[in-house]
Amino acid sequence: MPQKNSPAVNLNLNVRGLPLSATLRINEISNQMIREGKHVFKLGLGQSPFPVPAPVEEELKANAFQKDYLPVLGLSELRKAISAYFARTQAVTYGFDNIMVGPGSKELMFILQLVYYGDLVIPTPSWVSYAPQAHIIGRPIRWLPTKASHGWRLSPQEIENVFKMDPERPRLLILNYPNNPHGSSYSTNELREIARIAKKYRVVLLSDEIYGELKHNGEHISIARFYPEGTIISSGLSKWCGAGGWRLGVFAFPESLTWLKNAMAAVASETFTSTSAPIQYAAVRAFEGGREIEDYLFRSRMILKALGKQMVKEMTEANIAVNMPDGAFYLFPDFSHFRDKLLQNDIENSEQLCERLLSETGIAILPGSAFGRPPNELTARLSYVDFDGAKILTATHRFSDGQEPDVHFLEVYAPNCIRAIRIMVEWLKKL
């Protein structure tokens, strides 16, 4: 039977001339330079330096034979493990049927923006892909201001100022903490306040907690505790489980947003179908947790905290303004104190700063402009991940009780990160 013609659809996807995402582009440029024999300090892409924990890797090996398509929303055993994980770690109840698994949380975010009709509301700075995803789909973007002096965190008042201008407007607010690109997190009181405002204006809150397990003090708190009916939690294996390339992301939906989950499942079924089967079986083990995984996380956090602290110390001593991170593996320095010197060297904006730094020192970092900062602001994101994660984890096993990595330890086990800062400081001095 001939098919009925579809009605004309005016779908203007904004993809013409779109460049590769900044994080992936810097990785490809860095790898190309390495292939050409140059030394690159790879502080561009935010990839976990740590190996996948042994029990999770073992589980993947044992499940290599899994070859069937899995349910669109994910393997039920995995969805149950994720539901139990959120109950155990955050005391929040997301039934297993309200969990959706996808090939990376990035893909789930794109589909969410596709199916939800509201404006995207994000802070500046924000991770590189939220805004381009909205741009591709054609959603309006509302940037919320933040200040370095307030740790680049959103102030509840600023959020309310924007929301009250048009109180009924449907909105998707993305909150990401510990944050990419600056590592800050929120206090419990701040989370309570933001939750109160989100609830008052009935916004859909996407809480991007992909770095939650990497809060340096191990005490991440989900905002879902304070606004359970409107919060979708986003997480995945990429950061805390060292498995970015495995591509496994998860969304946990409140009951009231089941319609969104169903709409996303429909799009998923017409696009990625289902997430890789062996990866999903292995992910069950990751979300079950246990002693070995806790130990791995404890050591990862200890290393990231000490390294972040040392780098901040050396940058601050050199007059580079930078905040101490609360979690993850990012720093967001501001080079404004060097503006005059930089200008004399034809460096006017963050992009030129990063290009010159890469070509003259081999240090790869990303410009603040890629994160929604004004182009002429001299901010940049530095991912302090250029070290051998397996080697440094093993080295911490020789620590005595309560011992923490000191500068000598970091010079030996994270030499590229420490050297990069010292070379950067020298470069600035010699300009």
Q: Which residues bind ligand GLU (CB under 6 A)?
A: 21, 23, 45-46, 106, 127-129, 180
Q: Identify which of 265, 226, 272, 201 has the alpha carbon closest to the alpha carbon of residue 90.
A: 226
The 8-class DSSP code of residue 303 comes to H
* Residues 6 or more apart in contact with residue 107 via CB below 8 angstroms: 247, 249, 272
Count CB neighbours of 355 within 10 A: 14
Please, which residues have CB within 8 angstroms of residue 312's CB and are 6 or more apart in sequence? 322, 323, 324, 325, 331
CB closer to ligand GLU out of 83 and 379: 379
Residue nearest to ligand GLU (CB): 46
| CA gap 421, 404 in Å, rounded | 21
In the complex with ligand GLU, the residue whose CB is nearer, 23 or 396, is: 23
Q: How far is the CB of 350 from ligand GLU (least distance, A)?
A: 16
* Nearest distance in Å: CB 133, ligand GLU: 11
- Nearest distance from C-beta of residue 24 to ligand GLU, angstroms: 6
Quote the tokens at residue 6: 């579809």
Give the shortest CB-27-to-ligand GLU separation in angstroms.
8
Q: Take residue 268 and report the two structure tokens written for it.
A: 């998923």
Measured on CA atoms in the order 90, 94, 97, 103, is the torsion positive or negative? negative
Nearer to ligand GLU, 94 or 329 (CB): 329
Name which of 287 and 330 has its Cβ closer to ligand GLU.
330
User: Which residue lies nearer to ligand GLU by CB, 126 or 396?
Assistant: 126
CB of 181 to ligand GLU, least distance (A): 7
CA atoms within 13 A on the CB side of 239: 28
SS3 state of residue 373: coil
CB of 244 to ligand GLU, least distance (A): 6
- Give min distance, CB of 33 to ligand GLU, in A: 18
Q: Considering the complex, state which of residue 83 and residue 133 has its C-beta at the smaller distance from ligand GLU.
A: 133
Instruction: Evaluate whether 278 touches 63 at the Cβ level (below 8 Å).
Output: yes
Q: Please say which residue, 128 or 342, places its beta carbon nearer to ligand GLU.
A: 128
C-beta of 327 vs 405, nearer to ligand GLU: 327
- Cβ-proximal residues to 149 (8 Å cutoff; 6+ apart), any chain: none
Smallest separation, CB 109 to ligand GLU (Å):
10
- What is the rounded distance in angstroms from the CA atom of residue 289 to the CA atom of residue 293? 6
128 vs 378, which CB is nearer to ligand GLU?
128
Provide the minimum distance between the beta carbon of 305 and ligand GLU in the complex, in angstroms, as a whole number.
Answer: 19
Token pair 């029990």: residue:
55
Q: Tokens at residue 349, please?
A: 């904006």
Report residue 226 CA to chain centroid gap.
22
Q: At its nearest, how many Å lie between ligand GLU and the CB of residue 164?
A: 32
Nearer to ligand GLU, 52 or 128 (CB): 128
Q: What stretch of H or E contains 269?
A: helix 258-270
H helix intervals, 138-257: 156-163, 188-200
Pair 417, 366: CB distance under 8 Å: no
Structure tokens, 429: 């001095």
Angle at 174 between CA 172 and CA 176, to 5 degrees: 170
